[in-house]
A and B are shown apart, each in its own frame.
Chain A
Amino acid sequence: GAGVSQSPSNKVTEKGKDVELRCDPISGHTALYWYRQSLGQGLEFLIYFQGNSAPDKSGLPSDRFSAERTGGSVSTLTIQRTQQEDSAVYLCASSQLIRDNQHFGDGTRLSIL
Chain B
Amino acid sequence: AQRVTQPEKLLSVFKGAPVELKCNYSYSGSPELFWYVQYSRQRLQLLLRHISRESIKGFTADLNKGETSFHLKKPFAQEEDSAMYYCALSLFSGGYNKLIFGAGTRLAVHP
Contact = CB atoms under 8 A, between A and B. Distances in A.
A48 interface: yes
Given A42-B86, A42-B103, A102 B97 contact: yes
B49 to A, nearest CB: 8
Given A42-B4, A101-B46, A104-B45, A55 B94 contact: yes
Interface in B40-66: 43-46, 49
B43 A104 contact: yes
Contact of B100 (A45, A55, A105): A45
B99 A43 contact: yes
B46 A48 contact: no
Interface residues of B, number: 22
B95 A104 contact: no
Contact of A56 (B6, B46, B96, B104): B96
Contacts of B88: 43
Given A101-B46, A104-B43, A42 B96 contact: no
Contact of B43 (A3, A42, A45, A50): A3
A105 B43 contact: yes
A61 B77 CA distance: 39
Interface string A32-45: 01010000111111
B89 to A, nearest CB: 11
How many A residues are at the interface, by size bracket? 20 to 34
Contacts of B44: 43, 91, 104
Contact of A98 (B49, B95, B101, B102): B95
B103 A102 contact: no
A82 interface: no
23 contacts: A3-B43, A33-B99, A35-B99, A35-B101, A42-B4, A42-B86, A43-B88, A45-B99, A48-B96, A50-B96, A55-B94, A55-B96, A95-B97, A98-B95, A98-B97, A99-B97, A102-B99, A103-B45, A104-B44, A104-B45, A105-B43, A106-B43, A107-B43
